[in-house]
């Protein structure tokens, strides 16, 4: 009896000793942002924008996972902005365009509110004739009123109505 009790105690102690060992798996992934600096001087590059004469319309339908907040403040909603940008991107892909000029958006829901359809209408355009800017090109860029390296400014309805945006680009 005493021997069985001793074997039992040793087994219990062995069980507790082995169960107390912890196994840790640590993966350390340190990402450091490196500042990219260049001392090379580059010449400004300009391109022509060839805009199609025909207006296109492209529709995309999404599952409706919008909250009431997304609908009431759609211009600030990341979900709605994602749907608009994805539709615009797919329209540019379909019509082999680099950009859609003067895009208009129409966002509608199905009658049962299960889906949202985003429709984009605009003119497909491609960049062509890339070249080093001439003095005349630089003068045109200066006269656009921006100090930016480009005169093409992507915008949305929300950014146009934002005073800080319009004041920045109106300088």
In a domain, 23, yes or no: no
Contacts of 137 (CB under 8 A, 6+ apart): 44, 46
In the chain, beta strands by DSSP E: 45-51, 56-63, 99-109, 115-132
- Residue 97: per-residue pLDDT: 93
In a domain, 161, yes or no: no
Enumerate residue ranges in the chain where pLDDT < 50. 21-24, 26-29, 149-171
- Residue 90: per-residue pLDDT: 93
In a domain, 67, yes or no: yes
Domain enclosing residue 107, as ranges: 45-133
Q: Nearest 5 degrees, angle CA 19-CA 23-CA 27?
A: 165
Tell me if 64 sits within 8 A of 113, measured CB to CB: yes
In a domain, 85, yes or no: yes
> For the chain, what's the residue count?
171
CATH number of the domain to which 84 belongs: 3.30.110
Compute how many other C-beta atoms are within 10 angstroms of the C-beta atom of residue 69.
11
HEC per residue, 81-122: HHHHHHHHHHHHHHCCCCEEEEEEEEEEECCCCCEEEEEEEE
In a domain, 60, yes or no: yes
In a domain, 143, yes or no: no
Number of structural domains in the chain? 1
- Residue 124: per-residue pLDDT: 95
- Residue 51: per-residue pLDDT: 93
In a domain, 72, yes or no: yes
In a domain, 144, yes or no: no
- Residue 17: per-residue pLDDT: 57
């Amino acid at each position: 009896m005493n021997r069985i009790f001793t074997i039992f105690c040793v087994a219990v102690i062995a069980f507790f000793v082995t169960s107390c060992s912890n196994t840790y798996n640590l993966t350390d992934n340190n990402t450091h942002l490196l500042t990219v600096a260049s001392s090379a001087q580059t010449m400004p590059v300009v391109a022509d924008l060839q805009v199609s004469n025909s207006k296109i319309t492209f529709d995309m339908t999404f599952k409706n996972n919008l909250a009431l907040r997304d609908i009431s403040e759609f211009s600030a909603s990341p979900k709605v902005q994602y749907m608009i940008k994805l539709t615009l991107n797919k329209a540019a892909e379909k019509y082999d365009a680099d950009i859609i000029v003067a895009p208009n958006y129409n966002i509608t829901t199905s009658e049962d509110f299960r889906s949202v359809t985003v429709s984009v209408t605009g003119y497909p355009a491609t960049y062509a004739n890339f070249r080093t800017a001439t003095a005349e090109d630089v003068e045109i860029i200066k006269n656009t009123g921006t100090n930016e390296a480009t005169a093409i400014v992507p915008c949305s309805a929300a950014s146009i109505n934002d005073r800080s945006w319009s004041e920045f680009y109106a300088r």
